[in-house]
Amino acid sequence: MKLATLCYVKDETQNKTLMLHRVKKENDMHEGKWNGLGGKFEPGETPEECAIREIHEESGLTITNPTFKGVITFPEFDGIEDWYVFMFVSKEFSGSLIESKEGNLAWIDDDKLLELNLWEGDRIFIPWLDSGFFFSAKFVYKDKKLVSHDVSFY
């Protein structure tokens, strides 16, 4: 089992979200896709600590007060292990963007997010981030294709 975070950094003054176009890392299972920022937990980290560290490592930005929005389970997403991903949104940040070793960072207009080359499930859960509800979901992929999903809102 892998524990990870995914965080969407939002600039509300410009109605934009920071996204990462995964085009640099070798053997990247996300190659060519646009993703929020995040990654795997390090030993002893809370989900919030992981999100804050990953955002800083991948973007150079320092986020504060990330808002926990939900959890998504991806059974055998990498073909081997189940991934449990803690979902966050952050609207408070400081710093300047750096060159990411995983891809190209870009501030995307919120009304254009779903037009990007996203994983199929991302088109479903991204709107949930602004729903006002906490969610627990499962997205099942086989051969990089979404085959089913379900969700509970709280």
CATH of the domain at 133: 3.90.79.10
Which pair of structure tokens corresponds to residue 135? 């969610």
pLDDT in tens, 98-140: 999 889 999 999 999 999 999 999 999 999 999 999 999 999 9
pLDDT in tens, 34-92: 999 999 999 999 999 999 999 999 999 999 999 999 999 999 988 889 999 999 999 99
- Report the distance separating Cα 84 and Cα 77, nearest Å: 10
**Total count of domains within the chain:** 1
Tokens 């991302």, located at residue = 122
AA letter at 35: N
Whole-structure pTM value: 0.94
Range of the domain at 70: 2-153
